[in-house]
Structure 1
């Protein structure tokens, strides 16, 4: 795949880049290793000052970087502005909280005495250069939620961004440089996916994090495993959105529309499978379909656009194939289902019902504005349908029954359970999944500790 900005609203190639050669990659690896030796010794006050300055610059740049993101991957401009603001918020959160999150821990005094020590501490120390392989769908946020905690922990970052968002990738390197970071603290590697393996095998790279597809996750984990390197993987999701009889149906249907089409439906944590109790199925389905029909599809640079184009032609083709497979096998199209006849990689908000286990869309992630509706006879069946997926990233449940809340928390196979609202990442809460959605956690204290050497410091009596 060429490293290029291709406007998905028109299909026009706007700018192309040459991939870095072996000499430049080697220079940057040397720089990362050398910079880490000094940056690791910096204190939290200095690290926080730099990160806050980067957040301030991002706020100043918000209009421009929002337009860049929208141009490169088709995100509606209002959502691009929100993404930039969210990144600045997360940077400030880690600048404020990193020192307490990584403070030395003192085990219980009785355990210290039992070990024969006079004192024991648990200290969090940085690992070194961390390689981040990041996707195009949230081209700023996915990087910042790695970079902010990694830098505050004393690590340095190497970014291999998706090849269709090179301008955003280069912006991020420039942002940290302008904020005052030493050049080797955060570097963007303009490389193709074929170069990732060699970098992972390099001894100077101490760990890796990837957000992306299941095949990409397998490859990174396998390669890193050869070198016994720590990895964090956030992969696909096919999140359930369960609606029970006690739910506020109007609110549940309204939020369901946003939960499905956020980021043009190209979000791992977007709700994709809508599992509705039979007592309220018809009423919910009517409201949900009407909400999907009412969305405005069009130019993502316009403020009133709800759904822009998919990020790539291949992505639209993949989505169409899932829908076509389902309809050939008996699924019903309640709205959408056919690409519009105009330039760009658009696909309309679509709702399918009558889904069976034999259909590909039941097992595979639909990365675009396509929702599947399921009817559940009771809570047990709702849980069975929700868990009948290879993925387990997040989940959404609408109920006012506390006994049902307890059951869903206990039984849903997912990294998060959101009640009476939609899944959304926040810097203070851990984020990640189970099953084929990956392992490890981002954000919160759990995320900043993923790339730390958790060190026991023992003093004899």
Structure 2
């Protein structure tokens, strides 16, 4: 894939970028490595000042930055602006809490025969971040903000279709006051990742993206014995039980499926309704999905914009067509729109069987698969019948059912009577083939720290 801005609403190539040369890559790594030597010694107060200044710039530039995001990957202007403001919130959260989150942790000194014993968190060094296009600022910021506040420095290898977002993030961090080379955007193809990760000056890596990309980075890092955090795909269940507020569940289900034009790892993708309310849920859900307005993402009245890439639309189309040919029922949507750009309509599919690829594969677009469950046991069984385990949603007012969902759904996150959302205050990540490690909260800032044991004897 060329490194280029291609407008998903029209298919027009707006701007292309030359990939960095091997010499430019080596220079960027060298400068980052040298910068870490002094940056790690800056105080939390100084880093917090820079992080707050970066947040202020993001807020002041939210309108034009949102327009850039929409141009590059097609999300609506409303959601793009919300993403920019969320990035500002992320920087502010870690500016205000990093010092406390990384404070020395006292241990029982007497139990280990010491005068004093504790654990200290210290930065690892240069961290490579391999990031996707669907939340081109937020997914990079949820690494950058904690990593910088911990004293690490970052190299960003962003997706090839959002180069302007990559360059903007590195620029706004520098304009916020962080020293040059603390956070560098490298415009390189995916083929360059291995050499960068194997470089002795790079200490660790984080990746948000596809399962194949995660496997590749994990294998390289494992061979080099370097720590990684992986946030990969998701096929999140959205369970609705008879006691749920059905109207609220349906409204949230629509938002959960079409957020970011359906291109979110934590978007609900598999909707599991109890048999007692299945028909009513499907009728209401289909009605609301079919009523969504698909169109120009810069139009404030648009609900769903284009998919980000032509290949992405082709993959969604293939899974839906396969299911329909095998006997699944298309309740609404199901056919690409006859217009320029990479649009695909909100789609609802029922009568899916386990032998259909759509049963187990992640559909990265506004396509909802609906399943009928006879009881809570079957609902949990369907929810867990996937190799992924990122987020999950369950709607019920029955406290016993709530506890079963919390205990038995195989996922990194369970949201009861709500929609899965990432917050700086909560850990974010998955299990099974959705990856390992955690971003955000205390877990995220400690992910790329050396937890150093300190034992001090008596004088």
TM-score by length of 2: 0.99
* Counterpart position of 2:48: 48
* Counterpart position of 1:39: 39
Instruction: Please state whether the residue corresponding to 1:183 is helix, strand or coil.
Output: coil
Runs of 5+ consecutive residues of structure 2 not aligned to the other structure: none
Instruction: String of CA shifts for 1:266-324, please: whole Å, max 9, x gaps.
Output: 00000000000000001111110011011000000111110000001000000000001
Runs of 5+ consecutive residues of structure 1 not aligned to the other structure: none
* Counterpart position of 2:169: 172
Q: Write the distance in 2 (CA, Å) between the matches of 1:205 and 1:305.
A: 43
Instruction: String of CA shifts for 1:101-158, please: whole Å, max 9, x gaps.
Output: 00001013xxx22322110011000000000000000000000000000000000010
1:204 maps to which of 195, 201, 219: 201
* Counterpart position of 2:58: 58
Instruction: String of CA shifts for 1:215-269, please: whole Å, max 9, x gaps.
Output: 0000000001111000000000000000000000011001100000000000000
1:154 maps to which of 151, 156, 162: 151
2:310 maps to which of 308, 313, 316: 313
What is the Cα deviation at residue 460 of structure 1? 1.1
Is 1:363 matched up with 2:356?
no
Instruction: String of CA shifts for 1:341-393, please: whole Å, max 9, x gaps.
Output: 10000000000000110000111000000000000000000000000000000
Aligned positions of 1:61-140 closer than 5 A: 61-108=61-108, 112-140=109-137
Q: Write the distance in 2 (CA, Å) between the matches of 1:357 and 1:54.
A: 48
* Counterpart position of 2:221: 224
1:445 maps to which of 431, 434, 442: 442
Q: Write the distance in 2 (CA, Å) between the matches of 1:94 and 1:228.
A: 28
Aligned positions of 1:287-306 closer than 5 A: 287-306=284-303
Is 1:416 matched up with 2:418?
no
* Counterpart position of 1:20: 20
Q: Write the distance in 1 (CA, Å) between the matches of 2:143 and 2:100.
A: 18
Q: Write the distance in 2 (CA, Å) between the matches of 1:315 and 1:308.
A: 13
* Counterpart position of 1:430: 427
Q: Write the distance in 1 (CA, Å) between the matches of 2:55 and 2:249.
A: 34
Q: Give the ranges of 4+ consecutive aligned residues of structure 1 lying more than 4 Å apart after TM superposition.
A: none
1:332 maps to which of 326, 329, 333: 329
Instruction: Please state whether the residue corresponding to 2:160 is helix, strand or coil.
Output: coil
2:260 maps to which of 259, 263, 271: 263
What is the Cα deviation at residue 176 of structure 1? 1.1
Instruction: String of CA shifts for 1:69-120, please: whole Å, max 9, x gaps.
Output: 0000000110001000111011101100000000001013xxx223221100
Q: Write the distance in 2 (CA, Å) between the matches of 1:127 and 1:409.
A: 34
TM-score by length of 1: 0.99
1:345 maps to which of 336, 339, 342: 342
Instruction: String of CA shifts for 1:158-212, please: whole Å, max 9, x gaps.
Output: 0000000000000011101111111110000010000000000001000000000
* Counterpart position of 2:388: 391
Instruction: Please state whether the residue corresponding to 1:184 is helix, strand or coil.
Output: coil
Cα RMSD after superposing both structures: 0.5
Count of aligned pairs: 458
